[in-house]
Chain A
Amino acid sequence: MSTNNTSKEVETTGHVWDGDLREYSNPLPSWWLWTFYGTIVFSLIYWVLYPTWPIGNDFTKGIKTIEVKDEQGKVIYDGHWNTRALLLDEMRNSPAALRQKEGIEMVKNASYEQILASPEMMSFARSMAKGLFGDYCAACHGTGGQGVLPYFPNLADDDWLWGGKVENIQKAITSGLKGNMPGFPTIQGQALDDLALYVLSLSGEKVDAAAAERGKKGYAMCMGCHGADGKGNAMLGAPNLTDKVWTVANVPGAGSIEGMKQEITNVIHKGIKREMPAFGHRLKDYEIKMLTVYVHEMGGGK
């Protein structure tokens, strides 16, 4: 540092190092100083109002209190101010919560017939259920409800394993589902091929008629669930085999009759075990109600 740069106007601290090094003693800018004092005052006020200092096994709770009432006006929290209490309040009394509450009350107190008949309630249920479906259902059934063959069924077609009435759908969501078809490993060789071709013939696929006729005998084992006519049984979640809608066997994607047969023999041989988890404990009743009408509408429900 050059010596002639030393300004004479500014005071120094008086310290001298190495004979000629001095340190300026510039005063702090006053805006800075006052902001600093301000923060000290702020913290003093904060300590008095809000939870802050630990003492022993406890902590100072502050003098600010908050009271939260539930929907019925009952006090559910009355004590020192804190973020969890604020959240309790926000869940009930924030403008967004109140706006939603209006719609929820409406849907809560209405029957399914009333909801389905009311455009206003439907549009509210649709908007809320869309988010719920995205959070809880889309991972399996896809955002649009189109499903994933062979794991998760399509909800957007009007073809139902367990029935498409609102009661069926509500039950599916609340208690979950167990799709269960036992495997038939003892059916083998020609008998298996024939049976598979018979199943394909039920939905009008052009298969070897003689083989299908032979396979009809084996179908006796399947009737208990799929019905004598192959129309299925919604009580057991057994699908209709006569429509061209497939939920496990990838018949449409198989390309050839041989490929289709392979898909069907696979199902017969290994059986099926699919599970939809129950949402009764995770979702509130009105949320299930809204999802029910949403899914019902999605599939053009019955």
Chain B
Amino acid sequence: MKHESVEINSGLLIVLTLVAISIGGLVEIVPLFHIKDTVEEVKGVRPYTPLEQRGRDLYIREGCYACHSQMIRPFRDEMMRYGHYSLGAESKYDHPFQWGSKRTGPDLARVGGKYSDEWQTQHMVNPQALVPDSVMPPYPWLLSTELDYSDIEQRMIALKRTGVPYSLSEEEFRRNVEEYGEEMAKKLHIPNAKATLEEQAKSRNWDGDPSRVTEMDAMVAYLQMLGTLVDFSQYEEGYFAKFR
């Protein structure tokens, strides 16, 4: 085929351009579906419980990602400040992931357990009361609004379709018991979702008021588990370097 016939025939030009671009895209994307060697095998990563998942939804609703990333990059300064760099496996159940690169506030990938529940609640209600120079806006309505979890089952089913191992059938439940232990498997069982959500919300008094389930309960439960799933002391230091 002569170059000229491509240039003067716009239909053909469009088709061939698409072919050329897709080859580039496919070469970049398809291998990622197959390569096992770049995703670290680590113990401990599990799906979010219903309460944490609602907290995550609120995190997205409020646009916290506009100022906070959730990805510690493999640099010395980041390791010194935030802890171990984030692993791909740690966000494998995130839909969508919250990695980001906009850091008006600090990275939150390992904020779980760094502060008390009370601090998280007070800080969310009025950041400047605790950190006078903070530019973080207040979110007082999280504390006064009851959490809406009427559609929690549907939310979990939607996530299940994307590959998050929530269980619906007895068989899936047993698989989760093996994988995550009885207690956690119950929380990941969709038919139990409302009951376990309430139970978790009241178990720890997240927002300081165990009598009701507020949006703050969900938000604090979510923040307090961020980055806590993998026990890095169990791995040799060089282990993760093999995967890059």
Contact = CB atoms under 8 A, between A and B. Distances in A.
Nearest to B232: A281
B74 A87 contact: yes
Interface stretch (B31-39, B160-168, B194-202, B215-223): B31-39
18 contacts: A57-B34, A59-B35, A76-B237, A77-B237, A77-B238, A79-B241, A82-B244, A83-B244, A84-B244, A85-B241, A88-B237, A91-B79, A139-B123, A142-B132, A151-B119, A151-B130, A277-B113, A282-B83
A90 interface: yes
A17 B38 CA distance: 53
B99 interface: no
B59 interface: no
A218 interface: no
Given A54-B34, A94-B76, A148-B130, A77 B241 contact: yes
Interface in A38-97: 51, 54-59, 68, 70, 76-79, 82-85, 87-88, 90-91, 94, 96-97
B97 interface: no
B238 A59 contact: no
Given A77-B241, A83-B74, A88-B238, A151 B115 contact: no
Contact of B76 (A56, A90, A276): A90
Interface string B117-128: 111001100000
A57 B37 contact: yes
B238 A76 contact: yes
A87 B79 contact: yes
Given A58-B37, A88-B241, A275-B116, 19 more contacts: A54-B31, A59-B38, A77-B242, A78-B238, A79-B241, A82-B241, A84-B74, A84-B85, A84-B240, A85-B238, A85-B241, A87-B75, A87-B76, A88-B238, A135-B81, A139-B123, A140-B119, A277-B115, A282-B113
B241 A139 contact: no
- Chain B CB count within 10 A is highest, among A54, A55, A91, for A54
Nearest to B40: A84
Given A87-B85, A277-B113, A79 B242 contact: yes
B118 A59 contact: no
B: interface residue count bin: 35 or more
B35 A84 contact: no
Interface in B62-84: 74-76, 79, 81, 83
Interface of B: 4, 7-8, 31-32, 34-38, 74-76, 79, 81, 83, 85, 113-119, 122-123, 129-132, 236-238, 240-244
A97 B76 contact: yes
A85 B9 CA distance: 51
A135 B115 CA distance: 11
A36 interface: no
A274 interface: yes
A99 interface: no
- Chain B CB count within 10 A is highest, among A70, A135, A139, for A139
A58 B214 CA distance: 47
B76 A51 contact: no
A15 interface: yes
A136 interface: yes
Contacts of B35: 54, 57-59
Contacts of A96: 76
Given A90-B76, A148-B130, A51 B123 contact: no
Contacts of A136: 114
B211 to A, nearest CB: 15
Contacts of A55: 31
A58 B32 CA distance: 10
- Chain B CB count within 10 A is highest, among A51, A58, A97, A138, for A58
Interface in A2-26: 15, 17
A275 B75 CA distance: 32
A133 to B, nearest CB: 13
